[in-house]
Amino acid sequence: MPDLNLSAVIGLPDGAVRYFDTIGSTNDAALEWLTAGAPELALVIADQQTSGRGRLGRKWITRPGSAVAASLILHPTDAESAHLPLFSPLAGLALCETLEEDYHLAPQIKWPNDVLLEGKKTCGILAEASWSGNKCQGLVIGIGINIARDSVPPDSEVLFPATCLEAHTSLVVERYALLAGWLKAFQRRRGQLGSPEFITAWKNRLAFLHREVKIVQSKGEEIVGTLENVLENGDLVLRDALDQNHYFQAGDVHLRPL
Ligand code: BT5
């Protein structure tokens, strides 16, 4: 356990933060806490994850002492529930704004929400909702950020080139200060979810816009085309060589530059 009051450092009320030296996955712990009645803006943090999860059953590697692994618990309002797919872009956008403002970096977003530095992935986001019928009971936003060089998995373990913050800045990156900055930026943008301002801010940071990319669908099917646009609901528009538009939702595809 770190020798400080994490709730106060991160700017959350007492009792809103649970810290683990080692855990399977902070998202799993957050989903359990949500079911047991976690408050709005509760946060689970771990120094190391032994079975960190990516999207679609992929793995996320969090080595001790080198990274941020955290899961934020939210109780979206009815109005926000209409924009649930935009919460993970919101988390990516908020991290970009923190990195720009506090660390003078120039991050980009690989649709829908990976944060890249100089074309390499430094952060992954996994949003998971808990449902009762068709009503969203709560949302968990998991964020993994590579900080120190030790956090970067070897090339053989990643599908896309990986990096860490310390490879791009000489400033000291203190992980709880980074989390506090992310949370502040997240809350600042949250009120704009689904608005044209929000989509524009997200789109302005989109990597590979108007470039040729390949979309790999969950069943392995590939489509090549130009990354034309993103829509208000977060869907991606790809234009193929025959000028046909294809629409993709964030959940079921991978994006690769060509
Ligand atoms: C993601 O999935 O990028 C979402 C990652 C979310 C991780 C956080 S950590 C806190 C919370 N608790 C969890 O259990 N998860 C969340 P996806 O887009 O599917 O990317 C997964 C892929 O990223 C893997 O298949 C690897 O290729 C690559 N990868 C794994 N660990 C990485 C790392 N530390 N840095 C960069 N790439 C990594």
Model pLDDT for residues 111-141, shown as the tens digit of each residue: 988 999 999 999 999 999 998 888 888 999 9
33 and 102 in a common domain:
yes
Q: Is residue 16 part of a domain?
A: yes
pLDDT single digits (tens) 147-159: 999 999 999 999 8
228 and 174 in a common domain:
no
CATH of the domain at 235: 2.30.30.100
Domain boundary among 162, 183, 204: 204
Nearest CA to ligand 1 atom 7: 144
What percent of the chain has pLDDT above 70? 98
As for how many domains the chain has, the answer is 2
**For position 251, what pLDDT does the model report?**
67
243 and 178 in a common domain:
no
Nearest CA to ligand 1 atom 15: 53
**Ligand 1 atom closest to residue 151's alpha carbon, by position in its atom list:** 34
- The string of DSSP letters for 117-163 reads ETTEEEEEEEEEEEEETTEEEEEEEEEEEE-SGGGSPPGGG-SS-B-
**For position 252, what pLDDT does the model report?**
64
156 and 56 in a common domain:
yes
pLDDT higher than 80, residue 40 = yes
Tell me the pLDDT band of 219, cut-offs 50, 70 and 90: confident
Q: For all residues of the chain together, what is the average pLDDT? A: 94
Cα separation, 113 vs 95, in Å, equals 10
User: Which residues have any ligand 1 atom within 6 Å of their CB?
Assistant: 25-27, 49, 52-56, 58-62, 69-71, 114, 121, 124-126, 142-144, 146, 151, 153, 158-159, 162
Nearest CA to ligand 1 atom 26: 158
Domain boundary among 183, 204, 225: 204
225 and 121 in a common domain:
no
**Ligand 1 atom closest to residue 63's alpha carbon, by position in its atom list:** 34
Range of the domain at 109: 6-204
Kindly give, in sequence order, each residue whose CB lies less than 8 Å from that of residue 244, ignoring residues fewer than 6 positions away.
none
226 and 157 in a common domain:
no
Domain boundary among 204, 228, 245: 204
245 and 127 in a common domain:
no
**For position 4, what pLDDT does the model report?**
72
**For position 131, what pLDDT does the model report?**
87
Q: Is residue 1 part of a domain?
A: no
**Ligand 1 atom closest to residue 54's alpha carbon, by position in its atom list:** 2
**125 CA → ligand 1 middle, Å:** 7
**41 CA → ligand 1 middle, Å:** 22
**For position 207, what pLDDT does the model report?**
96
**104 CA → ligand 1 middle, Å:** 24
**Ligand 1 atom closest to residue 27's alpha carbon, by position in its atom list:** 12
**57 CA → ligand 1 middle, Å:** 10
pLDDT higher than 70, residue 44 = yes
**Residue, of 221 and 28, whose pLDDT is higher:** 28
Kindly give, in sequence order, each residue whose CB lies less than 8 Å from that of residue 63, ignoring residues fewer than 6 positions away.
48, 150, 151
pLDDT single digits (tens) 162-217: 999 999 999 999 999 999 999 999 999 999 998 999 999 999 999 999 999 999 88
- Residue whose tokens read 């993994």: 144
Cα–Cα nearest to 236, from 245, 247, 225: 247
193 and 229 in a common domain:
no
63 and 34 in a common domain:
yes
Cα–Cα nearest to 119, from 104, 129, 103, 107: 107
216 and 199 in a common domain:
no
Q: Which of 60, 146, 163, 182 for mutating ligand 1's site (highest number of atoms within 8 Å of CB)?
A: 60
105 and 224 in a common domain:
no
228 and 129 in a common domain:
no
**59 CA → ligand 1 middle, Å:** 6
Cα separation, 54 vs 240, in Å, equals 28
DSSP β-bridge partners for residue 237: 229, 247
